[in-house]
Amino acid sequence: MYDFAIIGGGIVGLSTGMALGKRYPNARIVVLEKESKWAFHQTGNNSGVIHSGIYYKPGSFKAKFCRDGCQSMVEFCREHGIAHEVCGKVIVATDESELARLENLYQRGLENGLNVKKITAEEVKEVEPHVACVAGIRVYSTGIADYKQVSRKYAELIELQGGELHLNTKVEKIRQMPNSQVLETNKGTFEARCVVNCAGLHSDRIAKLGRVDPKAKIVPFRGEYYELTPEKRYLVNTLIYPVPNPDFPFLGVHFTKMIDGSVHAGPNAVLSLKREGYKKTDFDLRDFVEVMTYPGFWRLAAKNADEGIKEIIRSFSKAAFVHSLQKLIPEVQADDVVPTHAGVRAQALMNDGKLVDDFLIVKGQNSVHVCNAPSPAATSSIEIGKAVVEQLPAPQHLQSAVNA
């Protein structure tokens, strides 16, 4: 009998296991991951940004966890010798029509308690000489990190705390018992007093196995990236973002200096026809039918038709993708970028067509389900883990140790 079983070995599941071990040193904790490696999907394919929290609605989980997580992630990387850099970023308006939105974003940064500064086009060029813009915002706390390395360290700390880790272990069924839950997997059964669902791209399905309705469905969006050729990396010093369109849920294509020195450009955002579909040709009938028969998807598509079409064009046309990049750095040419990896964002979508724009944490009976944790979940992972632990009931036999 385990005290806590965590389903999902991405960065959020592992951070939750680490937080549980700190809170309950004597607890029996197990983490179950269906893949052969930790942080295999969203975490392992993200852009490696330590986000500041400037974009998120003041008072939301994302705003709070990201702001605090930005600091706790940097501290964690420093403590454990993990590759990272607090390089800052610029968000730029490329024409006059974007200035009002840039000002709104600056005010939101102030509301969220961030160190941000409005800068002129000339001041932007002091940081990023090759950017064309009319004005910008300097965000000082943004950084970059190796989140695979972070995740492996989380896993190592769970084991040092006495927790168990199981790779290649897929949860297929959940049986409710009077005081526990039995997780049936391809590697046998695991019984636990409390269950935490951090299954990312499959979090809604795991919630339903546990008889919890998250009132949202995961819709996968693939983000495709290009990479600057090595001889063109000098064009980017830090991170360069456009002013996001508030009517569209994604940030737009941008330039990201990676921790290994490479520079990634992107992503676009297109519907993936498979929840773990990293290639255009990837297809899964169940995943496809679920999206196509979900009313929320069609409501979202109707509302964002124009932007959605642009994203699809960028997916199939390198010229269109490069044109978007040239709005930020006019010098970039088609020969300067080559395709690189893609990631898939597990985005929760409600039946009314609204994207869940905050982290979604749903409580069940002796369970907690993290049902929407896309970006900035990696940045926020330490804080999400703490928040999940706060929502879990302390096992009776551990209460006295905690109270002491």
Provide φ and ψ at 272, rounded to 5°. Answer: -95, 140
Residue 252: the pLDDT is: 84
Over residues 133-180, the pLDDT tens digits come to: 999 999 999 999 999 999 999 999 999 999 999 999 999 999 999 999
Rounded to whole angstroms, the maximal C-alpha distance in the chain is 66
| H or E stretch at 360 | strand 360-364
Over residues 167-190, the pLDDT tens digits come to: 999 999 999 999 999 999 999 999
Over residues 301-339, the pLDDT tens digits come to: 999 888 889 999 999 999 999 999 999 999 999 999 999
Nearest to 196 by CA among 185, 184, 210: 210
Residue 249: the pLDDT is: 64
Over residues 35-66, the pLDDT tens digits come to: 999 999 999 999 899 999 999 999 999 999 99
Q: Locate 273 and state its tokens.
A: 């026809």
Q: What single-letter DSSP state applies at residue 355?
A: B
What are the beta bridge partners of residue 197? 7, 369
Q: Locate 75 and state its tokens.
A: 């501290």
Contact between residue 44 and residue 14 where contact means Cβ atoms under 8 Å apart: no
Q: Locate 355 and state its tokens.
A: 């994207």
What are the beta bridge partners of residue 263? 257
Mean pLDDT of 1-24: 97
Is the link from the previous residue into 376 a cis peptide, with omega within 30 of 0? yes
Residue 270: the pLDDT is: 94
Compute and round to an integer the Cα radius of gyration of the chain. 21
Q: Is the pLDDT of residue 404 over 70?
A: no
Residue 400: the pLDDT is: 56
Which residues neighbour 344 within 8 Å (Cβ) at sequence distance 6 or greater? 41, 42, 45, 201, 220, 221, 222, 223, 272, 275, 276, 277, 278
Residue 402: the pLDDT is: 54
Over residues 210-264, the pLDDT tens digits come to: 999 999 999 999 999 999 999 999 999 999 999 998 766 677 899 999 999 999 9
Assign 397 a pLDDT band (cuts: 50, 70, 90): confident
